[in-house]
Amino acid sequence: MPTEIKAAPFDREERYIVLKLKRLPKDEVEYLRDCHPKAMVECVVVENDWPEYHLVWAMLEHRMAGKPVPNFNDWRRADELQQRLTAADERIDELTAPAGYCLMPTSLTAENGAKALLMGEFSVSQQHVCPECATTGEAPDDDCDICEGLGSYTQHTPISWDTMKEIYSKVVGSLAKTPNTPQ
Ligand SMILES: [Zn+2]
């Protein structure tokens, strides 16, 4: 009966201290070289924000487990997809508005549908005494074309598109939050 040999889980050991020359003062580089000549090893360093970082760990894990790395290109593709997912997650965080806020356009335009939505929607109402009936000194005329016998009439002046845009841009300019800005 064949015995199944299970590989021990791969442990990432702390075996090296890696210092980036560019970030060390020049005299310390020389000092460290002189102090620890026996600790110097020749190696390739893959930094953790390089695209190869996870791939290299995966390659080592596979080698230690006695398995061949299936396909380098598959790993690289998986890694790229993972990075795109992470970027998409970050984008979602950016797009999530804080409580009491929602996503709105930065300005009112015809293109974003605001013009069709708002044109003629709001007006200012003003009451006027009927100029025809007020001068007669008698009761308002029921047949009056202007007031229809009421003695006064209401004039509705639509809020202009330019005014709406000005109000909106003032609100956005003063109250909008920049995504992910600490509050
Ligand atoms: Zn009238």
What tens digit of pLDDT does each residue of 7-21 get?
A: 567 888 899 999 998
CA distance 149 to 125: 19
Give the strand pairing for 123-129 and 152-158. antiparallel
* Segments of the chain with pLDDT less than 70: 1-8, 70, 179-183
The pLDDT of residue 161 is: 94
CA distance 18 to 32: 12
The pLDDT of residue 5 is: 57
CA distance 21 to 32: 11
CA of 147 to the centre of ligand 1 (A): 4
Q: Confirm if 180 and 120 have CB atoms less than 8 A apart.
A: no
CA of 156 to the centre of ligand 1 (A): 17
The pLDDT of residue 10 is: 82
The pLDDT of residue 179 is: 59
Q: Confirm if 69 and 75 have CB atoms less than 8 A apart.
A: yes
**Widest Cα–Cα separation across the chain:** 120
CA of 134 to the centre of ligand 1 (A): 7
CA distance 83 to 51: 9
The pLDDT of residue 181 is: 45
CA of 129 to the centre of ligand 1 (A): 8
